[in-house]
Amino acid sequence: MVARSPMFMTFCVWRRSVFGPTLKEIKEDRSNIHRFAAAVAEYIRKVLPGDLRAAGWALTVPPARRHRDWNFAIEAGRLLAETLEIPFYPVVAAARSRERVGAVYDLVTAPQERNLLVFDDIITTGSTFTSMFRLLQPMGYNMVFAVGIDNKA
């Protein structure tokens, strides 16, 4: 499925449901990282076919603002990059504050690859991806945004 914002589209694997476990429960079970990575990898291979490494793709995630000891999105992103056989940049950006909406990011590490798959575990408002887009797009990066769960009601 695709979630749209005024600036970009996000490819989502699952949609929020009133049935089943909550995202908190999903994230507490670390074995779910494998489910996320496998499902998103399968979807990405359909959207971006071919040898992603040869095409200059890398994967990154938005900055961790909470859960810094162990972050579900970072660990799922690491496994996703490994599955797709592309470089992984876990810390491309840093948030100036813990704010989610309207967050401003600063560049920490500039990926060598010009094509970036930006992965997060959940999207609700799209603000995190918007902040990543605003940081990286002026630098000439091409981005595809992928998320595990679309949390919009």
pTM: 0.82
CA distance 78 to 37: 9
pLDDT in tens, 89-103: 999 999 887 776 778
Please state, rounded to an integer, the average pLDDT across all residues of the chain: 82
Closest CA to 114 of 77, 86, 152, 79: 86
Q: Which pLDDT value is given to residue 109?
A: 94
Ranges in the chain, pLDDT < 70:
1-23, 65-68, 70, 100, 122-125, 149-153
Q: Which pLDDT value is given to residue 36?
A: 80
% of the chain beyond a pLDDT of 70: 74
Q: Give me the domains of the chain, ranges plus CATH numbers.
A: 2-150 (3.40.50.2020)
Closest CA to 75 of 135, 42, 29, 115: 29
